[in-house]
Chains A and B, each alone.
Chain A
C-alpha cells in the first residue's frame, strides 16, 4: 500500500444540474471499474441508504474508490467523491470539490445548461479543478448534442468538441469517460514527507468507532498512532485506524499519504469536533497553516418543532441529540409555546434540510411533530445599542425598543426560457426582488440575476417558480448579507386569542396580503365547532384581516343499516382520531397540520 504511485491516482467528482444523470453516471463508473461486478451492482450505489443500514454503520457513501485498467495498460485508482446536489448544502459541495483535482460536468443532451449547471461548474472552476464535459442522455429523441456542445463552449467557455456523448442509463460511451478521467484530470500533488495537511470533506458518527472523518490528504502521511489535531476546533486524538472506501464499506489500510482520499477514526466522540472544511494535521509535526476556505456552518432557517403528544418531549430531545451526532449543521434549543407546549427551536441550512430532518424524526424515531412556520434570522437593532439575532418571532422586543431591523438577502440566479421571462420577473418583483441584470444564453434562454430577501424564498418560491415557468426555470442562490428592512410581526388570533406559534415576521408591505391569505387558509383547516370562530390577523394590535369559521350545524350519517355498521364505525373512528390530533387553544381545537399548512400560501393555483 505504501508504494502507491501518486501519478496513478485520480480524485474527481461529478457536477450536474439536478436530474441530468449524475448518480447514474457514478453507478456506471463504479460498475465498469474494478469494484463490483454488474451482478453485485445495485442501482445508485452512492445514494443507497439501505445498504448503509445493512452494514450496521452509518456512512453517507460520500466517496468510493475503484480501480480502472486503462488503455495504456496501467491501473489507475479512481476516488469518486459525491457531492450533495441541493443549494442548501452549497458549503458541503464546496468542501467536496476542494478534495478533488478535477470534475466531470454532466449536461443533459436535451435540456442543455441549467442554473445549477452554471453554479456548480463555476464553483468547480473557483476551486481550480480541471473540468471536462460529458453529454448525457444522447439516446433521448429530443437530444441535441451539437447544440449543447456549442452552448457549453459559448456560455461556460469550456472546450467541448471531444466531450463523450453518452447514455449513462444505457451504458453507452462510459469507456470514453473513463479514459478522459485518466487523461484530463491531473494526478494529485503534495509530498508524503511534508507535515500532515488533510481536508475534512465529511464526517459521520458510528456508535462503535466514534466519529469517522472523510478526508483528502493534501500533504504528508497519516497512520495508526498519529496524534492528529483539527486546526479550527482544536480537538486532538490519536488515530485508531485509516483506510479507504469500498462501496458501502470501510477498508482499512496501513497509511494514507499525500494525494489519497480515505477515512480516519480516532475515538472522537463529538461530530462537532470534526467540522467539514477543517484541516487535520499532525500535532507533533504540524503544518504551518490550515487549508483555506474553512467556514463555520450557519443555520439559515429556523422553526419550532413540537411533539404532537406533549408527553413525547423527552423522546424528541433524544432524537434530536442522536440526529445531531450525524448532522453537525442541525442545531436546536428548548423553547416553550403557549399554544404548543414544550418543544425546540431548530436551525437548518435551508428548507430542504428542514424537511429531511422532520421526515427522519417522524420515520426513524416514530415521532408525530407539529412544526411552526420556518423563518430566517433577523437582526434587531435596539434603541439601547444592543443587536439581537431573532430566530423566534415571539421574542421580538416591543416596537418602542426597536431602532431598526435587518433581514438576510441572497443573490439569486434564475435560468429561464425567454417566453417565461415576464412571468418570472413578475414573481421576483412580488417577492421584493431587486433586479440586477439579465444575460442571454443563446437566443432563447436568459439568466436573470436578482437580489431577493431570504424570507421571501424559503416558503414556496421554488414551487411558484416551477409553476409559472411550466417547470422550465431553474434556480440557485447564495447568501449575500443583511439589509435594513421595514419588518413587522404578524399575529394570528383564533377566537380572539393570540396563537404564538402562528406569529411570523413579514415585510410591512406584504403584511396585509399575507394576513388575509393566512386567515383564508386557517379557515379551511380549522373544523367547524359548535360555535362561530373568528380568525383574525393583526399587526401591532390592529386587526388587518378576518375570516369566520361558521358554526357546525349538521354532522350526521343519514343511513346506518346492517351492512353499513362496520364501515360507519370506521368513519367515526377516523373522526375521533382526528380529534386526538388537535391542539386545544382556548376552547378551539386546531388540527396540527394547520400550523404547517400556512407555509404553503401558494399565491396562484
Chain B
C-alpha cells in the first residue's frame, strides 16, 4: 500500500487529497514513482484521450501500466529536472480549461505545483494526491541549499554540512520545507537521527 496518513500539524503544512476526474479541455498529469497508482485509479478513457502524462519512475515499474491507459501524450524521464523544460513548455502553451493532477512524493508535487501556479493556475485549483515515499525536499535556511528526499530528522545539509532540524514549516514559493540548525546553541550536541514520522 502506497498511502500514508500524515499526522495533523501546523497550518503551513500542505494537505493532499485524492485525485478526482474533472471536466476540462485537457488534462495534465505529473507523477513520480507510486504516484502512478493514483493516475491508474482516476483515469477514464475519455480523460486519457486528452491527457498528457509526465512520469518520473524513480526505479519503479509503472511505466507499462501508464502507457496501457493510452494517454494522448506520454513522457517518462529519469528525474524531475529532466522533465522540467517539458513541464514549463506544456504549461506555457496551455489554455484555460486545463486540469492539473499531481501525484507521488511531496517534492515532486511541490515543484510541479510551483510551476503550475507560476503559469497562472490558482494553487487551490490544482489537485494533489500523496503516494509512496514520505521523504521531503528541504531547504537549509542558513545556506539556502536544497536537499532532496530527506527521510530522517535531524539530517545534514548536503551543501553546508550543518545538522538541520526538519520543520513542518513549508514554503510554496520554494517548494520545500525549512531545515533549521539543531545545535546552534550547543555546537556538537546533535541528537541521533530517526525517521521523520517516528
Q: Do A and B bind?
A: no
Q: What residues make up the interface of B, taking CB atoms closer than 8 Å to A?
A: none
